[in-house]
A and B are shown apart, each in its own frame.
Chain A
């Protein structure tokens, strides 16, 4: 279809045929006036499907809607053209009038795109393994290590493992769910207290027993099922409602009860008869797509709408607790309170005070900071060079980051302390590792710091180790990390076909790192990004590859030069000055952090249509001293978090 269209365009036949096909005048105008300019000055020689200069193919944008969808890209393209960087000097130049037309119309399309509220679609998704384990814990009391049963989940979007489209299902996973389910139900049963909380059981009173006996003698009829079935109905309904996170449909309930009856009748009159039957029903609940897959009902409309009360309960609980809603939240949903902003706020405030918020802290912090790498056995520290490092130390380093992040959410309530704070979380081995005295025992605790070098993520062993090579530090990797995580301006992919530098062949690790990197970026194609990236990394060179402080390199006692210059011109020397500088770039951090948290909350990528929401969230941070509770509340109150669009296919089918 698209190819046919392009052919039409090329032959100049389009106007009559396509307007007849009912395209809006704007679109026709785009084909007639705007697109030809882009084709002539941008696509023709460079940005087409074959040449793909800069990896960019502008031929794809034959519809306004496509430009609108990639608004972010076009915003940056507009800037490049306005700055005179595109088209490049050696190519055909765009006359002012044509440039004006092109840019003004593209700006118009982008503005229109933002004027229409678009909360995006939330496709159904399987619970991530992390969420699954927490949901099982809240539902049955059984704690489960998901890594023992399941392969790791992939990530997508903003880099989190709760991203709908990559959470696929396949036979291997299903087999593991089956095994896990059988294990969970047996474990739940093994602990009497635990089991009685979910299955208070069925006890036959003497009266009932007599009645059953009498019925059997008189009428030759077995009514022994009535009592257990009534008890089962309550207990199954309760369990399945919590698992499915909504009210059960009558036919769903009936099916589960029928299954209970089927199992019950097959069993002889042993004391465990009721419990065994309940176990089987629970297995069916825990394997049901209603439990394993989060899915919201679509409505037959093309306009955005508020999600249902129970769907909102799930959105909240999976965002803030990585798990299913608790009973209070379910009751609030039942009373439709979650659709009323004031009452919704009450629930969010309550949830932020729950210790379950720690799960969110752990999930978000370890993925955002990418310190979960420390748990990946292939990414290990070279133990010949660093015998002091151990997997346990790595675990405590991760814990430090999680505890710290949790504290900025709940204790200090100040997210800016992620960049810089005068405390951290330590136990004895980690404190020793950092050269801090006076900490005894293995429990992690908050420690006030005299020295300003450690507080904040940049001074954390976990971050510093995860951004190092097994045998030495890498200023490049650390600089790249600062650009991505703190400033939200990831470097571009390295250009292909960078010619080898003769000098590079002669380098060796004995040379000072700074000298090495200077040689490597001698190529102008590398210089642009690497200058800033490497400098940012050098500010952290006083931390070795496992995060210990050092004043010089190795045996030769070469002094460390931790100075550098930011792209925006400010000079710095060492981690303390770098932290102060980054702290002053509040607006950039606020934007980058808002985008990450929103992406985590929604389980999708954040793009152009979300610009307004991201801007509003950054404002919230900036105007309220990075108040964490207020910020998380605003994320949960935000438009895309409460609203959704239907899948277009559904709309057509209704």
Chain B
């Protein structure tokens, strides 16, 4: 026998006036907010895009230097953004490029941390540092609903790699909130959209508000605190992870002020985009296998761009795939097989050609994102002008696995902090961390050193 759930309305009637009906005002276009919005300080944003398995080396680096350069075959889709680009050569993630480590996992986890990780099948996960995006999130995140958001397409890879002795978790995360804790990435477009926008899009699935949520969360935090007193090091660690997680959820879900502020920032333009995206999402169904990955990537990118535009967050990362990605790329004309196997091209012409096509596809998606950002206006500027959008991989050539001369592009003017429209080659083996340090500075993050950085990469700064 079935019965209807107790409606929230009934519960709330029961409570009388002690709890406000949530978010009803959000359903009507905010009258005052437009004016407020224009006056708001336009924040700077950071977005990172990671792709696995490196690049076809000869098709990557543009010809010419400085502001006089010609985009390479792989970077061709970025032609419309040439003036917004920094193509950077000869950067190296030095700490990870040592003998005796593995080619993929040991380079993916440190892509944004610039430290050598502990080799383990899981008992002592340690990336030795906090990733660059999380450093930024710690300082910029206080102002927004989410300190940072992490996106991707594929779930964490299962298992441990018995040949090299690493847990594949290391290959599944680039954002590390602490040396032992990766951020979970959101890979489902519906979840990702609803998490941010369910209260502001009419008709999007709404979770509603439970009046006792806060009491429930307080109660379970008490449990954790009590347990915490009687525990050893490892246990305390687990319990503090638990506590921090509940705290952060409670802060966001029960603080009406931040939500109001966020909702007030939803301009009619943003709302229009959200409604459109919501319709596309309703049509999107993921089946067990063989979904259209281009479509999925673009949906996730749209959500990513809207998250930045609506100021739900100022820091995002995006993984096109996990380390050693075995994505089947046969949907591209002239490609047969999976990404990782093809990246081991053995200098074979046919494989190199396919490899290059896969790289090109990635750049096309990145260009799509940049186009999105450019179409999103903030006063007389675009979102792209206000942002730094890093695009790169943790390897140069997928066949030889070296972390030297990494393929790295930065787009966007970072609110005027970056001197874009340049193709720059640095001295060989310049630390990648120098770039991150410069980007953090450009974001006005107070930091003097990052990873193995030696200096600020001032050449990119305006």
A-B contact number at CB 8 A: 302
Among A75-83, A213-221, A270-278, A423-431, the stretch that binds chain B is A270-278
Residues of chain B contacted by A22 (CB below 8 angstroms): none
B28 within 8 A of A: no
Looking at the assembled complex, report how far the CB atom of B266 sits from the nearest CB atom of chain A, in whole angstroms. 21
A288 near B220 with CB under 8 A, answer: yes
Given that A172-B183, A190-B4, A493-B164 are contacting pairs, would A165 and B328 also be in contact in the complex, using a CB cutoff of 8 Å? no
- Could you tell me which residues of chain A, from 15 to 60, have a CB within 8 Å of some CB in chain B? 51-57
- Could you tell me which residues of chain A, from 452 to 492, have a CB within 8 Å of some CB in chain B? 469-472, 474, 480, 484, 490-492
- Could you tell me which residues of chain B, from 58 to 117, have a CB within 8 Å of some CB in chain A? 98-103
CA distance A157 to B161 in the complex (A): 10
A223 within 8 A of B: no
Contact mask for chain A residues 334-364; partner B; CB cutoff 8 A; 1 contact, 0 none = 0000000000000000000000000000000
B216 near A287 with CB under 8 A, answer: yes
Closest to B326 in A: A379
B156 within 8 A of A: yes
CA distance A267 to B215 in the complex (A): 15
B414 within 8 A of A: no
- Could you tell me which residues of chain A, from 256 to 276, have a CB within 8 Å of some CB in chain B? 256, 259, 262-263, 266-268, 270, 272, 275-276
Residues of chain B contacted by A173 (CB below 8 angstroms): 184, 245
Q: Which of B14, B287, B341 contacts A391 (CB 8 A)?
A: B287
CA distance A506 to B122 in the complex (A): 41
Looking at the assembled complex, report how far the CB atom of A322 sits from the nearest CB atom of chain B, in whole angstroms. 16
Residues of chain A contacted by B103 (CB below 8 angstroms): 496
Residues of chain A contacted by B326 (CB below 8 angstroms): 378-379
Chain A CB within 10 Å — which of B2, B168, B233, B346 has the most? B346
CA distance A375 to B217 in the complex (A): 35
Residues of chain A contacted by B210 (CB below 8 angstroms): 182
Looking at the assembled complex, report how far the CB atom of A149 sits from the nearest CB atom of chain B, in whole angstroms. 9
Contact mask for chain A residues 190-209; partner B; CB cutoff 8 A; 1 contact, 0 none = 11110000000000000000
Binding site for A on B (CB under 8 A): 1-6, 10-11, 14-15, 18, 98-103, 120-125, 150, 153-156, 158-160, 162-165, 167-169, 172, 177, 180-187, 195, 207, 210, 212-213, 215-217, 219-220, 222-224, 227, 230-235, 238-239, 241-242, 244-246, 248-249, 253, 286-291, 293, 321, 325-328, 330, 336-338, 341, 346-350, 399-401
Residues of chain A contacted by B186 (CB below 8 angstroms): 151, 172
A646 near B286 with CB under 8 A, answer: no
A380 near B289 with CB under 8 A, answer: yes
**Further 8 A-B residue pairs, CB within 8 A, beyond A152-B158, A500-B346:** A124-B234, A156-B169, A159-B158, A298-B235, A378-B325, A471-B337, A496-B103, A500-B347
Q: Which of A166, A189, A256, A501 contacts B5 (CB 8 A)?
A: A189
CA distance A333 to B102 in the complex (A): 46
A157 near B289 with CB under 8 A, answer: no
CA distance A492 to B58 in the complex (A): 31
A11 within 8 A of B: no
Contact mask for chain A residues 76-115; partner B; CB cutoff 8 A; 1 contact, 0 none = 0000000000000000000000000000000000000000
Contact mask for chain A residues 573-607; partner B; CB cutoff 8 A; 1 contact, 0 none = 00000000000000000000000000000001100
Closest to A474 in B: B341
Residues of chain B contacted by A508 (CB below 8 angstroms): 348, 350
Given that A267-B15, A391-B289, A507-B348 are contacting pairs, would A178 and B122 also be in contact in the complex, using a CB cutoff of 8 Å? no
Residues of chain B contacted by A178 (CB below 8 angstroms): 213, 217, 249, 253
Residues of chain A contacted by B162 (CB below 8 angstroms): 159, 484, 490
Closest to A507 in B: B348
B10 near A270 with CB under 8 A, answer: yes
Q: Which 4 A-B pairs have the closest CB atoms?
A: A156-B122, A647-B232, A55-B100, A154-B169
Residues of chain B contacted by A125 (CB below 8 angstroms): 238
B248 near A191 with CB under 8 A, answer: no
A170 near B245 with CB under 8 A, answer: yes
Given that A170-B245, A384-B330 are contacting pairs, would A605 and B121 also be in contact in the complex, using a CB cutoff of 8 Å? yes
Residues of chain A contacted by B181 (CB below 8 angstroms): 168, 170
Residues of chain B contacted by A293 (CB below 8 angstroms): 238-239, 242
A537 within 8 A of B: no
Looking at the assembled complex, report how far the CB atom of A651 sits from the nearest CB atom of chain B, in whole angstroms. 8
Among A2-10, A366-374, A439-447, the stretch that binds chain B is A366-374
Residues of chain A contacted by B120 (CB below 8 angstroms): 156
Chain A: interface residue total (CB-CB under 8 A): 117
B163 near A380 with CB under 8 A, answer: no
Given that A159-B160, A378-B154 are contacting pairs, would A391 and B125 also be in contact in the complex, using a CB cutoff of 8 Å? no
A62 within 8 A of B: no
Residues of chain B contacted by A284 (CB below 8 angstroms): 215-216, 219-220
Binding site for B on A (CB under 8 A): 51-57, 121, 123-126, 151-159, 161, 163, 165-166, 168-175, 178-179, 182, 186, 189-193, 252, 255-256, 259, 262-263, 266-268, 270, 272, 275-276, 280, 283-284, 287-290, 292-293, 295, 297-298, 367, 370, 372-385, 391, 394-395, 469-472, 474, 480, 484, 490-494, 496-497, 500-501, 504-509, 520, 604-605, 646-650, 653
A380 near B290 with CB under 8 A, answer: yes
CA distance A504 to B352 in the complex (A): 13
A377 near B289 with CB under 8 A, answer: yes
A-B contact pairs, 6 of them (CB 8 A): A166-B125, A171-B244, A174-B245, A272-B10, A374-B289, A379-B338
Q: Which of B15, B168, B328 contacts A381 (CB 8 A)?
A: B328
B163 near A505 with CB under 8 A, answer: no
Looking at the assembled complex, report how far the CB atom of B208 sits from the nearest CB atom of chain A, in whole angstroms. 9
CA distance A385 to B336 in the complex (A): 9
B245 near A155 with CB under 8 A, answer: no
B184 near A170 with CB under 8 A, answer: yes
A156 near B160 with CB under 8 A, answer: yes
Q: Which of A262, A263, A377 contacts B288 (CB 8 A)?
A: A377
CA distance A158 to B336 in the complex (A): 33
A289 near B168 with CB under 8 A, answer: no
Closest to A150 in B: B184
A383 near B15 with CB under 8 A, answer: no
CA distance A168 to B217 in the complex (A): 19
Residues of chain B contacted by A262 (CB below 8 angstroms): 215
Residues of chain B contacted by A384 (CB below 8 angstroms): 330
